[in-house]
């Protein structure tokens, strides 16, 4: 308990920057955020980088995803990949505030949160939650829009192997029917604007499967907001 409390303090109080090790600084200093978190042009529905002036990538034009909009704060590369790995697997929920602030500062995220009727975190299976100790997506969502977060609406109904170990085609099959909307709470998403929060988007398989469940429950508009997006 003391260890986690101290880790939480390190993410909120001035300390050594986790990237450049400058002192004193926040968890990630302003100079490093400026250097490594510059906005880039991204496809509006899958958040992959695109050339300037392009709104949607070719893949999304051919096969529109179940998201109306997808927003990513940073690319999943240095230094964010290492920091996110530490956050998720290093028992460091105290990083939630700093990382959520980075997400909120990304273009169009603030308006999406303001317009949302409900903000839903990507759920973890019971097994994964037991292994990790906390749901990083829920902690980020609570920092982004505490008054709008519901963790009991979108459910993970099937445990699946980690997506990171699978090729794209298997990732898509892996998460089929893995999510559902709680029937007694479906009215909270029916004809509503939903923001779906996750930490990392790779192939998009998990986010799309969750969005599809929300579509089937009648959601009117779904925005995916992720901390980091792989650029592959």
Q: 116 with 98, same domain? A: yes
- Contact yes or no for 173/208 (Cβ under 8 A): no
pLDDT at site 216? 96
Task: Give me the CATH number covering residue 109.
Answer: 3.40.50
**Parent domain of 218:** 40-229
DSSP string, 71-121: EEEEESSTTHHHHHHHHHHTT-GGGHHHHHHHHHTSTTHHHHHHH-SEEEE
pLDDT at site 192? 98
Dihedrals φ, ψ of 206, to 5°? -65, -45
4, pLDDT greater than 70: no
Those residues with Cβ within 8 angstroms of residue 84's Cβ, 6 or more apart along the chain or in another chain: 76, 99, 199, 200, 227, 228
Q: 160 with 181, same domain? A: yes
The pLDDT tens digits of the residues spanning 115-128 come to 999 999 999 988 88
Q: 25 with 130, same domain? A: no
The pLDDT tens digits of the residues spanning 20-39 come to 999 887 889 989 999 999 99
Q: How many domains does the chain have?
A: 2
The pLDDT tens digits of the residues spanning 43-87 come to 999 999 999 789 999 999 999 999 999 999 999 999 999 999 999
Q: 16 with 97, same domain? A: no
pLDDT at site 168? 54
| 5 lies in some domain | no
Q: 154 with 175, same domain? A: yes
| 2 lies in some domain | no
């Amino acid at each position: 308990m003391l260890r986690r409390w101290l880790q939480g303090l390190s993410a909120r109080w001035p300390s050594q920057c986790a990237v450049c090790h400058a002192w004193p600084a926040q968890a990630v200093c302003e100079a490093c955020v400026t250097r490594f978190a510059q906005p880039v042009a991204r496809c509006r529905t899958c958040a992959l980088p695109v050339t300037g002036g392009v709104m949607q990538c070719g893949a999304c034009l051919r096969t529109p995803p179940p998201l109306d909009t997808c927003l990513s704060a940073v690319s999943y590369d240095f230094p964010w990949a290492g920091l996110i790995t530490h956050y998720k697997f290093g028992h460091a929920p105290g990083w939630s505030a700093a990382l959520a602030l980075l997400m909120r500062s990304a273009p169009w995220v603030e308006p999406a949160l303001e317009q949302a009727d409900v903000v839903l975190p990507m759920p973890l299976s019971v097994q994964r939650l037991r292994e990790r100790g906390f749901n990083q997506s829920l902690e980020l969502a609570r920092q982004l829009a505490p008054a709008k977060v519901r963790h009991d609406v979108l459910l993970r109904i099937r445990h699946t192997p980690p997506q990171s170990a699978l090729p794209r085609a298997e990732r898509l099959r892996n998460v089929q029917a893995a999510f559902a909307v709680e029937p007694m709470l479906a009215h909270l998403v029916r004809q509503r604007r939903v923001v779906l929060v996750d930490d990392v988007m790779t192939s998009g398989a998990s986010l799309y499967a969750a969005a599809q469940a929300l579509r089937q429950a009648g959601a009117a508009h779904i925005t995916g907001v992720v901390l980091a997006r792989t650029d592959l």
